[in-house]
Amino acid sequence: MFWNLINALFGDSQDSRSNRQTVASVVSKESATENMELSATEKSLDEEILLLARTYGPLANGVRIELGLQEALRLFPRKRKRSDAFGKLIKKVHDEYGTELIITSKKKGIT
């Protein structure tokens, strides 16, 4: 489908072949960058889960870990210093291990 769009925009002439290669290389570089960012996020989440398991014991179904926001930020630094910044970590720990991770904040209570 993507190539059909490229062909419709640039045609099949010899002159447009260099344009198509340039567009294809730009698209592949952009998608490679997105994949690297995504895998870096996944990798950092996996590292954080390993650190969580080393610090608080094995993660298993029914285990509940409750951390204060300051403790969570010390273990897993974030730019956004709010409990909602840990949403992906909380979801991944719950979905993959069945462990309930709770980050509490003095401002909002339990999140």
pLDDT > 90 in the chain, percent: 49
What is the per-residue pLDDT across 29-51, written as a single tens digit (0 to 9) for each? 555 555 555 455 666 889 999 99
Domain boundaries, the chain: 2-110
For the chain, which ranges sit under pLDDT 50? Answer: 14, 16, 20, 38
- CB burial string 50-85: b at 16+ within 10 A, e below: eebbeeeeebeeebebebebeebbeebeeeeeebeb
pTM (2 decimals)? 0.60
